Structure 1
Amino acid sequence: MDLLIENWTTIAALMATGVFAGLLAGLLGVGGGIVIVPVLYFLFQAFNVSPESAMLIATATSLATIVPTSISSIRAHRSKGNVDFTLIKVWGMFILIGVLIGSWLVTQVNGQWLTVLFGVIATLSAFNMLLGSKKAIFDDLPGKAGQSAMASSVGLFSSLVGIGGGTLTVPMLTFCNYPAHKAIGTAAAVGLIISLPAAIIMLLVGQTPVDAPLGTFGLVNLVGFICIVPLTVFFAPIGASLANKLDAQKLKKVFAVVLMITGIRMLAQLFF
């Protein structure tokens, strides 16, 4: 009990992260990882964790939180027939290969490189939200070689920066004239293929940094996981219901600006 009282500010901040991520996921249709990683990155630093360690732990913890939320999302999208299991069968093995490589790299590289990569992906994602056209660039998905490259890239980069399938999978599919509603539903299944093995590897293989916050095992902060997941799952449907009452497209533009500022700030912290 004394330990909880001493660290109540950390726990409260982690719970707020879960609320924020859940609301945005439901309201704007963005993946929780793109929200959770930068929040944890800056939050851990507020508790005297180095930027390098903070990024490693934020990445691993984010992936762990995506496991239960993606299962819930898959069930919801499957009931509407929006999960393309045929595509998952084609992509699954290549996603897993990318995840295994990316997860291993996270346990080996300096967190600065992951911060750079996340900052770049966050900034590009923000530009896509602000300026991206809804028109397809290609008429159809490429052949098997092209799809294997797409799938392995999604697995590799998503596991490296702690995001689920949506941030990279949805734009890739929609650029290839793939129905947007099926892209979102299928991305939920991709998120599970990414997050489950990645989180296990980072939990069991990752070496806990000496300045890691309370409750960190391997590279996963279990306190963060416990505080974030229930609230994310609870508030995502609330966010979805708010989307019907608010102008979600305008809010998405606002989030894109915030995401861009966050990505640039993460990069600036390293180079200036």
Structure 2
Amino acid sequence: MRSTGPITLNLPHFSGATRKLILIHLASFFGFLVLEWAARDIAHLLTGYVVLVPQSVFHGYVWQLLTFIFYPAGLLGMIFALLSLWFLGVWMEGTFGSRRLVELYLFTAVGAGLLASAISYTHIFGLRQDLVAAGPWPAVMGLMTAFASLMGDSEMYVFFVIRMKAKYAVAIFILLQLATVIQGGDRFGALAELCGALCGWLYFKFAPTRGVVFGASERYFGLRNGYYRWKRRRAARKFEVYMRKQNRVVKFDEEGRYIAPDDERRDPRDRKWMN
């Protein structure tokens, strides 16, 4: 049974996929700092390709849907985001495994970027297509919402100071971002975080138990195998018509496999002879 106790301030183990995600963020953060110091013009040029800009996304810069969460967006925000990723990521990885943690993190990032970019075209609340979003908070909000959906009565520390139930903490974060979207400030960034929270909830509400990637691959191979079976049955029917014109009778099973005359009396449940 899952524990409903609070996530304490004791630092969890720094390992697995959680460590890799955090190290990627840190490498990106310090890499951009060094580049900004050593080659400011190149840093500004690269920034335009990495951050999330709706009009760029819909003009072919689709990689921004993923890269924008790895662009540093302020020291304090980065610290809190990575600490949240550390605490929540370790729990998620220990409960569901490394693959599903990474899948959830990237799914919420891409989903948040795509939804926020699409909504910006409605121009609601003063949103525009040339606004910019960057930083890991949309993906972290997805983790927080997923945790609250699964362990809503568990207690966590908001800003590592205030202790409250996860569902209330996430509700407060969502209301704060919603207020930012309505009242002003970093509207597009707040919208991306709201979309990240929505994607995190959708993932654990509707995603297959083994994850989206596994479910999609299973569905793909199921459709592919079904198509091959249909082609085999169609070829079998055509061959039967051809053989009848030659005054010969041939038989195929329901999957289009040839049945030799000596095998017709075999138990239909015996599939040892199938290729």
TM-score relative to the length of structure 2:
0.26
Structure with bigger gyration radius: 2
User: Which has the larger helix fraction?
Assistant: 1
Higher relative contact order (CA 8 A, sep 6+): 1
TM-score relative to the length of structure 1:
0.26
